[in-house]
């Protein structure tokens, strides 16, 4: 069994991007990202801080807009509209989830597709569907990079994704399909879940439930990718996979923390660099 070191692969990816950002600067092209956070969700705060730190490391200019929890749609959409027109801002990201009184869909729709570095806008989602994408959805793209860096073959393999969210499950399935995998998407209504998952050569867990994937659900020698980030009552972070017991059956497995998580941020940085290049006709 091999543990896939997401932290190391993320560091390598970010170093490549740091060099690319420096080369762009030489050409007079700067890269800028605006991050919007509404309210004070502690998990969102951690993610936004990590995104800002990554920008600093790579030499990407970043601006944070920390708005109060009672922000209304008008002012949020006004800010996005202004950022859409700014030449020095190449990427715009609004950290989700938003407070309940805000219309998440309207916010996603307001971000210019050219600056939508999360790839959440329907235009970008549609492009992913037809395989003609500018921006890769960050978490699924990070998983693909982990598989590629680990030398895992994807073509023709049985891939099972547990979870069908717009952010992870659905785009994850699509990226695997583009690589000629046979893809099954499972969810809360799936019958005989363990029967399906135990046929997976590559199993991706994106459920949001601690220790959901147990050894009986996993085929001997499978590759297991854990996209979950759950906090136990003790405060400890853990994934969707019962790592200690499942890892014994795997050929490859990602840990939590230090697996898929760090890759998401690296891919966000990659999308921001892509946005800057496209907006400067490079």
Positions marked active-site: 51, 95, 118
34 Cβ partners below 8 Å, 6+ apart?
A: 62, 63, 64, 65, 83, 86, 89, 91, 92, 93
- Least separation in angstroms between CB 62 and ligand GUN: 14
- Least separation in angstroms between CB 223 and ligand GUN: 23
User: Residue numbers of the site for ligand GUN (CB under 6 A)?
Assistant: 93-96, 118, 138-139, 167, 264
Report the C-alpha gap between 153 and 54 in whole angstroms: 29
- Least separation in angstroms between CB 268 and ligand GUN: 7
- Least separation in angstroms between CB 44 and ligand GUN: 7
- Least separation in angstroms between CB 117 and ligand GUN: 9
Joined together, the tokens standing for residue 17 give: 């991007």
Residue identified by tokens 């896939």 is 4
- Least separation in angstroms between CB 43 and ligand GUN: 8
Cβ proximity to ligand GUN: between 94 and 263 the closer is 94
- Residue 220 to residues 46, 145, 199, 200: CA-CA distances in angstroms? 36, 23, 10, 10
Cβ proximity to ligand GUN: between 90 and 95 the closer is 95
Cβ proximity to ligand GUN: between 4 and 268 the closer is 268
Instruction: Give, for 85, the enclosing helix (H) or strand (E).
Output: helix 73-85
Per the CB < 8 A criterion, the answer to whether 161 and 173 are in contact is: yes
Per the CB < 8 A criterion, the answer to whether 80 and 47 are in contact is: no
DSSP assigned state of 87: T
Cβ proximity to ligand GUN: between 215 and 257 the closer is 257
Q: What share of the chain is helix, strand, coil (3-state, %, to 5)?
A: 45, 15, 40
Cβ proximity to ligand GUN: between 96 and 193 the closer is 96
Q: Is the peptide bond before 36 cis (omega within 30 degrees of 0)?
A: no
Give how far the C-alpha of residue 76 lies from the chain's centroid of Cα atoms, to the nearest Å: 23
DSSP 149-180: HTT---TT-EEEEE---TTTHHHHHHHHHHTT
């Amino acid at each position: 069994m091999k543990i896939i070191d997401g932290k190391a692969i993320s560091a390598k990816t970010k170093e490549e991007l740091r060099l690319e950002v420096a080369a762009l600067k030489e050409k007079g092209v700067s890269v800028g990202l605006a991050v919007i956070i509404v309210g004070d969700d502690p998990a969102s705060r951690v993610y936004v801080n990590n995104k800002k730190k990554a920008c600093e490391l790579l030499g990407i200019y970043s601006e944070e807009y920390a708005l109060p929890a009672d922000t209304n749609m008008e002012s949020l959409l006004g800010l996005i509209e202004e950022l859409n027109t700014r030449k020095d801002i190449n990427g715009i990201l609004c950290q989700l989830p938003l407070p309940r009184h805000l219309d998440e869909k309207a916010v996603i729709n307001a971000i210019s597709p050219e600056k939508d570095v999360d790839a959440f806008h329907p235009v970008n989602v549609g492009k992913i569907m037809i395989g003609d994408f500018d921006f890769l959805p960050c978490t699924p793209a990070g998983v693909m990079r982990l598989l590629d860096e680990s030398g895992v073959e994807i073509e023709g393999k049985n891939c099972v994704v547990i979870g069908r969210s717009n952010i992870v499950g659905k785009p994850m399935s699509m990226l695997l399909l583009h690589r000629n995998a046979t893809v099954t998407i499972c969810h809360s209504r799936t019958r005989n879940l363990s029967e399906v998952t135990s046929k997976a050569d590559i199993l991706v867990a994106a459920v949001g439930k601690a220790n959901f994937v147990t050894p009986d659900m996993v085929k001997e020698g499978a590759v297991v990718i854990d996209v979950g980030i759950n906090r136990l009552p003790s405060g400890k972070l853990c994934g969707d996979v019962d790592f200690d017991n499942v890892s014994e059956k795997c050929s490859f497995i990602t840990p939590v923390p230090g697996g898929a998580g760090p890759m998401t941020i690296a891919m966000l940085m990659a999308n921001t660099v892509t946005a800057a290049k496209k907006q400067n006709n490079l």
